[in-house]
Amino acid sequence: MPSPSLAPAPTPAANVDPSIAATAASPTAASMAVSEPSPHERGTTATVTSARKSKYSASKSAKKATERQPSKQKKQTIAVGKRCYVERKHVKYLYSPTSDGWPLLKLHSSDKFRFFGTIDGKGTGKTYRVKLDIMPTSNNTITINRASIVVLAVGEEELPYSEKQRAEDEAI
């Protein structure tokens, strides 16, 4: 009987080019990628997040941005020398019944009556000194807070008081 051949069995690497076989046997071969796409060939994926979605959609904010809001009447800046007025309801508590200005306050009984004057200077805190036109010179400067003063725009006319206008203002 013929003896079995003790020749080694063929290995898969025997059919491979020897330079490739040497590269495959190196220790870094297992960690190397076979091929890597260039940056312009890579695909994109949508970002997945666990964060909550906004309760405001983008379309609502886009609508608000395009809608025209009604403009508010701009409040004039206050400065020394500017014309202004103060309503009687704010002035009547600043004069005592024995002062020279009290008869004028009694003459104009409506709280909406406007006392015109000029800003004379800054007081303490949020107060300003106002020099009223129709008050007697001995007692025509008052100190009053900014919220009670209405500053007139340049060129704005000082309308005289009328009962009809007062009724229209109170109706609004």
Span 93-151, pLDDT tens digits = 999 999 988 998 999 888 889 999 999 999 999 999 999 999 998 889 999 999 999 99
What pTM did the predictor assign? 0.54
Q: What is the mean pLDDT of residues 61-78?
A: 69
- pLDDT of 73 > 60? The answer is yes
**What pLDDT does residue 74 have?**
74
Q: Which strand ranges, in their side-by-side order, compose the sheet holding 83-87? A: 141-145, 127-132, 114-122, 83-87, 149-151
Per-residue pLDDT tens digits for 38-59: 777 767 777 777 777 666 555 5
Among the listed residues 141, 139, 122, 121, the one whose alpha carbon sits nearest the alpha carbon of residue 131: 141
**What pLDDT does residue 29 have?**
54
Per-residue pLDDT tens digits for 4-25: 556 555 555 555 555 555 555 5
Cβ-contact 127, 150 below 8 angstroms: no
Among the listed residues 160, 151, 147, 157, the one whose alpha carbon sits nearest the alpha carbon of residue 117: 151
% of the chain with per-residue pLDDT over 70: 60
